[in-house]
Amino acid sequence: MDPRIDSLRAMKQRGEKIAVLTAYDYPLARLLDESGIDVILVGDSLGMVVLGFPDTTLVTMEQMLHHTAAVARAVKHAVILTDLPFASYETPERALENARQLIDAGAHGVKLEGGAAKRAEIEAITHAGIPLMAHIGMLPQQVRLEGGYKVKGKTPDEVEALLADARAVEEAGAFAVVLELVRPAVAEQITRAISIPTIGIGSGQNCDGQVLVTHDLIGLFPWFTPKFVSREAHVADEIRGAVSAFINQAKSTPTRGS
Ligand code: KIV
C-alpha cells in the first residue's frame, strides 16, 4: 500500500481527523496543498461548480484526466484522489482501465460511488494495487434516478443497507469511504463499525474526516450553497469588487490627446 494512503488509515487509529477539499486546477490545488490539506479530491463536482452542468452526470473521463493532470502539477504533499465519472465503471474491466488512466494522469487513488452493488468493480481496482475511496449514502451520480439530494439513513432498512454497504466496501479493499448526507447518528454508527476512515459530507461531525467542495467553502459558487456548509470566505464578492474597480478605472481613464 502507498505510504500516503497508509498514513490516512493511521490517522483514524490515532483519532486524528482527516481534512479533504476539492480542487480541479493548478492555483486552487497549490493553495490547498500549501495550506496543509490532507487530501485533494478532483471531484466530479467539477461538472457543476466549474463546467456549469446541472449535475455531475455529464462529466467525462477526458475532463477528469485533464483536471487531474493540472492538480498533479501543483501538489507536493497532499494525497490526490480523482472521481471516476458517471458511466466510467460499469464493469470491473472498464473500472480498472479508467482507474489506471487517472493514476497515469497523476492521481494517487480514485473514488467511485456505490456500496455492495459495486463490490466487483471496487475489487478489480484494489486488487490491481490502486488505492480506492468508496462513496455511499446519497450518490450524486444517481440524482436523476433519485429525484433530488435526499438524506439517507431515515428508516431501519436504510440504516441496515448503509451498514452493509460500508462493510462491503471495506471488505472489497477500499481504504476509506465518503458518507454523503447520511443521518449523523447513522454516520457515527458506521464510523464505529468499520476500521477504514469515514469522510463525511453533510453527515455530522462524528466521522473520521470531513470533505467539502472548496467552491462552497470559500463562496466561489455563490448561486447555490448546500445547507450544511459553513462558508468561511466570500471570494465571489471579492472578485465582483475587483472587476467593478477595473471596469470603473478602464472606463474613466481619458484617452491621451482627446
Ligand atoms: O465530486 C465531489 O466533489 C464529491 C465530494 C462532494 C464528496 O464527490
The answer to the question of residue 168 being in a domain is yes
Which atom of ligand 1 is nearest to 41's Cα?
3
The answer to the question of residue 26 being in a domain is yes
Which position has the grid cell 455563490? Answer: 222
Catalytic residues: 180
Look at the pTM and tell me if it is higher than 0.75: yes
Domain of 52, CATH number, reads 3.20.20.60
Q: Which residues of the chain have pLDDT under 50?
A: none
Number of domains in the chain: 1
The answer to the question of residue 257 being in a domain is no
Report CA(46)–ligand 1 centroid distance (Å): 9
Dist CA 166 CA 207 (whole Å): 13
Residues near 219 by beta carbon (within 8 Å), at least 6 away in sequence: 225, 231, 233, 234, 235, 236, 237
Taking alpha carbons only, the member of 191, 180, 186, 184 closest to residue 160 is 186
Residue 196 grid cell = 477504514
**Ligand 1 near 213 CB (within 6 A):** yes
The answer to the question of residue 258 being in a domain is no
Q: What is the pLDDT of residues 190-205, one digit of tens each?
A: 999 999 999 999 999 9
- For 14, phi then psi, to 5°, come to -85, -5
pLDDT of residue 258: 63
Q: What is the pLDDT of residues 219-257, one digit of tens each?
A: 999 999 999 999 999 999 999 999 999 999 999 988 877
**Ligand 1 near 43 CB (within 6 A):** yes
| Domain extent for 41 | 3-252
Residues near 67 by beta carbon (within 8 Å), at least 6 away in sequence: 24, 25, 42, 46, 50
Residues near 244 by beta carbon (within 8 Å), at least 6 away in sequence: none
